[in-house]
Amino acid sequence: MPKFTKLSPKDVQIGRGRSTHEKRQPYRDALTSGDAGRIELGRSEKAAAVKHQLRLASKEVGIRVRSSWEDQRQRVLLWKKVGR
């Protein structure tokens, strides 16, 4: 007979959500450890995806963040906390 365990819905990540949740961990760590920062993109990373991941991570930890690109090629993203 299978063993059933009750879990909270917020503790369960299913499908692609789980892998993207794990990918956002460095973003969450950076947001909670400092008031501002810089993200340098690797060759295979897309600018829009990195900015989107930063935005999602900030929502997850409840921190408002503003960001902008340091260069025209969008390879370095600067961010800082704003508000409360």
Answering whether pTM is above 0.85, one says no
pLDDT at 71: 92
DSSP 43: T
Tokens 């956002």 locate to: 24
The Cα–Cα gap between 39 and 51 comes to 10
Residue 80 dihedral angles phi and psi, to the nearest 5°: -150, 155
Per-residue pLDDT of the chain (84 residues; tens, 9 = 90+): 788 888 888 777 776 767 777 889 999 999 999 999 999 999 999 999 999 999 999 999 999 999 999 999 999 999 999 976
Residue 63 dihedral angles phi and psi, to the nearest 5°: -120, 130
